[in-house]
Structure 1
Amino acid sequence: MALSKASLALVLALFSAKSLQAPTQSTVNACNAISKAIPGKLFSPGSSGYKEENEDYWNAGLSDLKPACILKPTTPQEVGKAFQVLGEFTDVNFSVKSGGHDPNPGHSSSQDGVLIALSKIKGTTYDKATNLAQVKPGGQWADVVGPLEKFGVTAVGGRLDVVGIGGYLAGGGLSFLSAQYGMAADSIVGWELVTANGSVINVDAKTQPDLAVALRGGGNQYGVTTKFSIEAHPIGKVWGGIRIYAGWAEQEVFAALHDFIGNNNKDPKAAVIVNSNKLVSGVAIYMIFFFYDAPEAPKGAFGKFEDISDLLDMTGTYTYPELLTKNSMGADSLSNRASFRSITLPRIPSRPQFYREIEAQWETIFKDYAQSHPGSIVVIAFQPFPAILAKNSASRGSNSMGLTANDKDRFVLEITGQWSSADDDNTIWDLSKQLTDWIEEQIPQVTTPESEQYLPLFMNDAAFSQDVFGSYKDVEKFRALQKEMDPTGFFSKRAGGFNV
């Protein structure tokens, strides 16, 4: 989709020298009013509490953005009080932060505005009688799978344990378990939601199905969730890990990927992510994440992948939390700037070369940058989004993406960049956009009647400049509901994140 001029201007302003000025008097007054309403939990620049929170981002570049103050509430009522205060200062913008994994500037970060960090609203409990996990948004996915493990259950969730909780669930969430149970948000049956006027309400998927669908993949446009009620699923020892393959095995890798997506419905316990790392420091490899929901994967579960010789095999049998920790090794230790950009694409049965065509164009676009910046990391990930996932989503009431039981196979392409210098921000954003622009031009030419035509963006992997809600087929319905929930535009006009 085209880069929004407004979105680009906003982000450029966030990182420009002009934005690095003192907060407005109105913002200072808002911070003071919040501090008075919620004593002892507001932190100003220079304090240890401020520094700790503002440096806790997966995208280290977000720490360059300096909020006027940071609130660390411990209850939903305190979040509500903050919203009520901010309601009196209509020219003050704010952002809400959960785990800090969203790399988009201004989503969970703020320059000269108010940052509400949910890091103290955390914890996971399980009720065996209802089979529901109560999950609070602060922390990372390790804070969910760890407490649930002793009960022999888990929640559909992150494939790395360093992924944040609140933003992941609000964005929909792809999981190793998605072919079995749908997206992570599809298993949410209740929300403790703080609305624009500061009220704390409880949303029940059974009695409020329209709002439930909107909240599954709707970001923060209807309110801020301070507790999720999530249907738990059985889990025991699992098999998985990473295998490394030579870059010259591209034909075999992509043939296996094409075959796997088309046959995932035959064994939904199996999952893969194919990362092309061909431009990382001149090391041409594929890094493939494997997962199987059992202690051992039966022969044939991964189809043609099983016929490819690997360079390094790091797969094995683990507890589910152990595997997610193993997958995360190094993911949070680079202290780099980072970005995501994404596009949802059809599996075209008659075009198994489509993946390689995308990879070749990515190499063409990024090659010069990668060669001149050997310390930077640019990767594309091919993530299966099979028809069985959509079918399971629909059976649970579906989500904002509008998935149905009749959907055909898709995959989600994620473009990830990690680099060290702020001077490269615009370059990475632009190169990533060049790739998705090129792909969008190809889709009408290569798509066939037997492939999926509806291609909604996946919010968790999207860039700030992409119109996620505009890609949803029910966007007008969501806009009307958002206006009903938030008539003054408290979230849609003033909060960080994707706007409906």
Structure 2
Amino acid sequence: MKMAVRQFQLIVLLLSSFFTVPVFSDTCSTLAKIPGSDVFYPLALSYKVDQTQYWSRQCSAQKPKCIIFPDSAREVAAIVKSLALYNESFAIKSGGHSPNVGFSSITGGPLISLKKLNQVTYNSATQTVKIGPGNRWENVSDALYGTGVTVVGGRIGNVGVGGYMLGGGLGFLSSQYGWAMNNVVEFEVVLADGSIVTASANSHPDLYKALKGGGNNYGIVTAYTVEAHPQGKVWAGEMIFTGDKTPKILKAVRDFAENYDDDKAAIIATAETTVAGIVDIWVLFVFYDGPTPPPGIFDRFTSIGPVTVTARTTEYRDYIKTTQVFVLRGQIYEMFTETMPVPSLSNGEEVMNSIFNHWMSTTDSIATVGGLIGAMAFQPIPKKMAAIAKAKGGDLLDLDDDVDLFMIDFNYSYLLDIDTPRVDDAVQRVYNGMKQRVEAFQAQGKLPEAYLPLFMNDAYFRQDYFGRLRTAGFARQVRDQYDPNGFFRDQTAGFKL
């Protein structure tokens, strides 16, 4: 009975918005009248706690007018209808991983926190899992523990589901099953007009494809139904190397990416520095989807002589929780990315060292920034991932299936707001300089010609994500069909067409 009354109240609210303009002068007051939704203001404990959940301090410092916590797609739909009437900027937050100010944070407008949309339901008959966007990946892996299955998800348990899925989603299992977005069977999504639709290969197939890599341009996704995959024990951990091993590590990373011996294996090779001109350490994340890797899989790295090896047989869910030790909270955090083809063996040393040295010298130029920590991570993207994506209907990235790539993730963390302009300048110099070097090597025949889009999940707010997509025309056409008045384009921040 209560459920029926609540649904009736929501229907009345939605219908009334078609015929009347509310007299309330405050958007948050209107949102507070939506049945079932919790709205909190700056002095409330729930407001303060939710604002601490961003990775970057500069996002936590934003001051939304209020935070609303819907717990159903119907409530999200009612919120969208109300916000459209007010023409006020708002933000949507899943986990708060993105350090780009305004993407999932806001000052002055309402913030929609999806944390109560946290279902994780495994359907053994269809071998799918329905996941709410308010989850973090550690919650998903906990919920699936003991079922014998998992899903392609974040490599750090603290990462939120929502933004990760809409930006592509790179996981330890991606070389086997593709990007996380390629594993979505259905999206439940609230559109700009407040309607709730299911986007799949058979229902709104154009929207289904555009949501895979389209960010927040099309609606608010309230549930993802994704493929389940068998999961047992894994062999995973880190190998730590001193900075003097850099030339050997760069060679080994290139060799691994070109000769991807086993798609159950995955690596992330991360250089980290805290002192001008010195790479303090390399952290090599190693993963094998099985209790032990076959002989030779990681020999390129073990032969270099790591200082420490923590890799061991463990549970998948336990490993993605341990990687959270590498998340630094309480600092300002900037993340950015670039893409390059994997160089040939004959040109590998020159190309890899050029890219690395460019990052290192730029980082050296801002070494006096307080508390600076710089990182550069090589993430191999084997061409098989593009083939998987095409077989599953495609996505906006639309990678070529005849070239191996590196998606290179960079980040800086630091302490003081006063240093933000210097860091911002360095960020631009790193990714612009890398792009120039890649193009120069291609012109010289030292790198293959290739289509090189950006990886949304790691991209900086100044980077032109959609400008680098050859599918941008399709993406814009779909956006104009489903959001003809530009509600999400004009009232939310993010990578826009």
TM, length-normalised to structure 1: 0.91
Shift of 1:291: 0.4
Q: Which residue of the partner structure matches residue 192 of structure 1?
A: 188
Contact 1:256 1:303 in 2 (8 A): no
User: Which runs of at least 4 in structure 1 moved beyond 4 Å after TM superposition?
Assistant: 280-283
Determine the structure 2 residue equivalent to 1:44: 41
- Displacement of 1:367 in angstroms is 0.9
Residue 55 of structure 2, aligned match among 38, 54, 58: 58
203-212 or 153-162, which deviates more: 203-212
User: For 2:125, what is the secondary structure of its paired residue?
Assistant: coil
Paired position in structure 1 for 2:495? 498
Counterpart pick for 1:446 among 441, 454, 458: 441
**Corresponding residue number in structure 2 for 1:11:** none
The 5 A counterparts of 1:168-183 are 168-183=164-179
Question: 77, 80, 101: which one pairs with 2:77?
Answer: 80
> TM-score normalised to the size of structure 2?
0.91
2:259 corresponds to which residue? Answer: 263
Unaligned runs of 5+ in 2: 1-22
Describe the superposition over 1:174-229 as per-residue Cα deviations: whole angstroms up to 9, x where unpaired. 11111111101100010110111111111122444332221111111111111000
Distance in structure 2 (CA, Å) of the matches to 1:173 and 1:471: 18
Choose the corresponding residue for 1:104, options 100, 103, 110.
100
Alignment partner, residue 427 of structure 1: 422
> Residue in 1 aligned with 2:318?
322
Deviates more, 1:170-179 or 1:207-216: 207-216
Residue pairs, 1:107-146, within 5 angstroms: 107-146=103-142
* Equivalent residue letter for 1:393: A
Q: 1:314 to 1:130 in 2, by over 3 A?
A: same
What are the superposed Cα offsets for residues 337-370 of structure 1, whole Å, 9 maximum, x if unpaired?
Answer: 1111111111121421222211111111111422
Q: Which of 382, 386, 392 pairs up with 1:386?
A: 382
Instruction: Assess, with a 3 A threshold, how the Cα gap between structure 1 residues 321 and 463 changes in structure 2: closer, same or farther.
Output: same
Whether the 8 Å CA contact 1:279–1:379 is kept in 2: the answer is: no
Contact 1:410 1:452 in 2 (8 A): no
Give the whole-Å Cα distance in 1 for the aligned partners of 2:217 and 2:64.
21
The AA in structure 1 aligned to 2:333 is A
Task: Give the corresponding residue for 2:234.
Answer: 238
Identity of aligned residues (%): 35
Structure 1 gaps, min length 5? 1-25
One-letter amino acid matched to 2:104 = S
Q: CA deviation at 1:150?
A: 1.2
Q: d(CA) in 1 for partners of 2:314 and 2:291?
A: 7
8 Å contact kept, 1:99–1:165: yes
Equivalents in 1 of 2:74, 2:59: separation in Å?
Answer: 28
Determine if contact 1:279/1:367 at 8 Å carries over to the other structure.
no
Query: CA offset at residue 283 of structure 1?
Result: 5.8
**SS of 1:277 mapped into structure 2:** strand
- Alignment of 1:301 onto 2:278: no
Q: Which residue of 1 aligns with 2:207?
A: 211
Letter in 2 for 1:159: R
Instruction: Confirm or deny that 1:338 pairs with 2:303.
Output: no
- Which amino acid is the alignment partner of residue 441 of structure 1? Q
* Candidates 61, 66, 70, aligned match of 1:69: 66
Q: Distance in 2 between matches of 1:127 and 1:180?
A: 21
Q: How far did 1:450 drift?
A: 6.9
Could you tell me how far apart the structure 2 residues matched to 1:209 and 1:130 are?
20
Report deviation, 1:403: 2.3
Q: Which amino acid aligns with 1:50?
A: Y
Aligned residue among 411, 418, 438 for 1:416: 411
Are positions 1:348 and 2:343 aligned together? yes
CA distance 1:140–1:430, change in 2 (3 Å): same
